[in-house]
Amino acid sequence: MLNKRYSLYSPFSTKDKLFSLDFTLFFSILLLGIISVFAQFSSSGGTFDYFSKSHAIRFAIFFILFLIVSFTPIRFWHSTSFLIFLILLALLLFVKFYGIQSQGSRRWVNFYVINLQPSELMKIGIILFLSNYYHKISEGDVNKVRYLLYPVIAILAPFILVLSQPDLGTAILILLSGIVVTWLAGVRWKIFAYLTLVATVTGPIIISFLKPYQKSRILTFLNPDADPLGAGYQIIQSKIAIGSGGLFGKGFLNGSQAYLNFLPEKHTDFIFTLYAEEFGFFGSVFMIFLYFLITYRIIKIGNETRSIFGKLYCYGFANAFFIYVTVNMSMVLGLLPIVGAPLPILSYGGSSMLAIMFGLGIVMSCKVYKNSAVG
């Protein structure tokens, strides 16, 4: 018994651990990271300025962090998931009152060396928490009202906190990530149907409470040409940049839209626009393929993982990852309103990258320790 337990913790040697990594995922992430450094370099007008330099350094650091997380037993992440969630919730509360204010919203908490955005980490935290929660309760209890209460609170608390920062984009992504895990765990269709109904009824009321700029973003999405130099400017310029890239693109460092500053937020939310302008349709398709490959590998790891926690986490994260990517791309392609959702890894932003790399690390940990029970 003791022997068995021991073996659960350390099934193989370091060498075995190394070889049990998912190399496709490993190299896909590495390749994406390298591409992101080039994209940031181009976004800075072909120079290693503050943005491109710190992006490269961050990726290097977080990639190492990713490996550390990967080799940490999944059992550890399972046992600390509630704690992580609570810490993040506490940080969100802290941000609410003591956060750093910038451009009209309070999103950052100052950690002396770095400014952290807890809302970004919460995108992973909610998945961790719910995976653990549904891992623990029995299938029969899933649809009981008493057991539904915790997930609802766990989703709504961070959602409302982030929404009030205000940060609509991240709030929605947290909400979606949570709902996806809940749904995967087996919560009845009916409940989601009711929720949808409630959302459609209260939606207009919520919209009336939105800040004017948020309202104008939704209106702009519906008709970007109404005010081409105002609110519609971003989306129009983004479409011009992507469309003018054509089949093969304008070439690395030759994106006129980005280079001449017609592109808004080109380091962060609109980094894909710059990439699509410079590398064209083929480059964009390759990028989508890379994201697809990562999603696919995460799902595959989920399939192989035996623990419910691992499965729920991998599936939940795969879906969330996919949502991040598609929401960002749809946004820059003019299919969704501009809500402020970064593109995983490619976009400039420490907290976002930290969250993604941390999330990917746990997935990899599921792979390395796929046969371990989590407790």
Q: Which residues bind other proteins (CB under 8 A)?
A: 134, 136-139, 180, 183-186, 237, 239-247, 256-257, 260-262, 276, 280-281, 284-285, 288, 292, 295, 299, 302-303, 306, 308, 311-312, 315, 319, 322, 326, 329-330, 333-335
Least spacing, CB of residue 235 vs other proteins, in Å? 12
Q: Closest CB to other proteins among 159 and 259?
A: 259
Indicate the residue among 243 and 251 with the shorter CB distance to other proteins: 243
Cβ-based nearer residue to other proteins, 92 or 287: 287
Q: Which is nearer to other proteins, 185 or 271 (CB)?
A: 185
Task: Give the Cα separation of 197 and 201 in Å (integer).
Answer: 6
Beta carbon of residue 122, minimum distance to other proteins (angstroms, whole number): 21
Residue 114 Ramachandran class (φ > 0 left, ψ -120 to 50 alpha, else beta)? beta
**Quick one: 122 or 374, whose CB is closer to other proteins?**
374
Residue 116 DSSP code: E
Q: How far apart are CA 247 and CA 280, in angstroms?
A: 5
Distance in Å, CB of 100 to other proteins, minimum: 28
Long-range contacts of 338-342 (CB under 8 A, 24+ apart): 338/217, 338/220, 338/221, 338/234, 338/235, 338/269, 339/168, 339/169, 339/172, 339/217, 340/167, 340/168, 340/169, 340/170, 340/269, 341/169, 341/170, 341/172, 341/173, 341/269, 342/268, 342/269
Nearest 5 degrees, angle CA 285-CA 286-CA 291?
Answer: 95
Ramachandran angles phi, psi of 109, nearest 5°: -120, 135
The CB-of-98 to other proteins minimum distance in angstroms stands at 36
Cβ atoms 301, 321 nearer than 8 A: no
- Find the shortest distance in angstroms from Cβ 311 to other proteins: 6
Q: Which is nearer to other proteins, 11 or 264 (CB)?
A: 264
For residue 247, the minimal CB distance to other proteins (Å) is 6
Residue 183 CB, nearest distance to other proteins (Å)? 6
Cβ contacts of 218 within 8 Å, gap of 6 or more: 207, 210, 337
Contact 335, 44 (CB under 8 A): no
Nearer to other proteins, 96 or 188 (CB): 188
